[in-house]
Amino acid sequence: MSQYEQDAPSAAMTAPSTPPCAQAPEDRTRDLRKNIELNVGKACNNRCVFCLDGLPKQEDRSYMPLPAMKAEISRWYESGHRSLGFLGGEPTTCPWLPEAISHARDIGFTRITIATNATKLRLEHYLERLLTAGLTRVTVSMHGHTGPLEDKLTRVPGNFEKKVAALRLVGEGAGRRAPGGQRLGEHRRERLELQTPAPDAALLLRRHRPRRRARQLHPR
C-alpha cells in the first residue's frame, strides 16, 4: 500500500467529534499541519466507468491489516505528521476503519479525513461510529447532477439518492468535495442547488477526462 506525503489542503469546518489531543492551528486560510494519506485497499462498492484502478480483481479485494495500519499511522505521527487521510478503493468498506480512526485520534492526530463515495454514510449508526472514533472531515465524490447520470457513471442503481441522503446526514461541519464529470460543466448552477451544505462546507467542482471504459462509452 502506498502513502503520499504532502501539505494538508485548506481546512474546512470540522464535524463534531471527541476533542483532539492537540490544538489545531488557528489560521483557517492554510492548514500547515503535515499530511499523510493512507490507502487502505482497492476494494470498492461502486463500479465507476472512469476508475483508474479498473475493476478490482479478486486478489485486490482485501485491506491493509489493522496492526499494519496502526503501525503506519504511528510511524507518520512520530515523524511529525498531524493530518491523516484515508483513501481507497472505498475506505468505508474496510471493516476496521473506525478502529484505525480511533487509534489516530488517541495518539494525537488533529485532522482525520476520509475520501469517500459516501453511500455508506447514509447509515446513521455508521456515520455516528466514525464521528465518535474521531473523524473530523469528509470528502464526498459526486459525479452527476442528476440521478440517472450519477447512477450511469458509478454503475450502481440508486446511488444518487444514497449520496444525497448521506450529505444530509453529514450535516453541519463536514467538508465536502464534489468533483464534476465531463458532462457537469454546463449544469453547475443545478449542481450547487442540489447540495444541502453546512455554512462552512467546501464545494469543489472538477472535470474528468474519460479513460479506459469511460472513453469507450463517451468517445470524443
Give the global pTM: 0.69
pLDDT in tens, 161-220: 999 888 888 874 343 333 433 333 444 344 434 444 444 455 555 565 655 555 565 555
Higher confidence at residue 145 or residue 36? 36
Domain boundaries, the chain: 3-217
Domain 3-217 has CATH 3.20.20.100: no
pLDDT in tens, 87-132: 988 999 999 999 999 999 999 999 999 999 999 999 989 999 999 9
According to DSSP, the residues that pair with 138 across neighbouring strands are: 114
Confidence band for 48, pLDDT divided at 50, 70 and 90: confident
- Which of these, 127, 41, 120, lies nearest to 88 by C-alpha position? 41
- Which of these, 25, 12, 18, 20, lies nearest to 198 by C-alpha position? 12
What pLDDT does residue 20 have?
A: 47
Rounded to whole angstroms, what are the CA distances from 28 to 10, 19, 62, 182? 7, 18, 37, 31
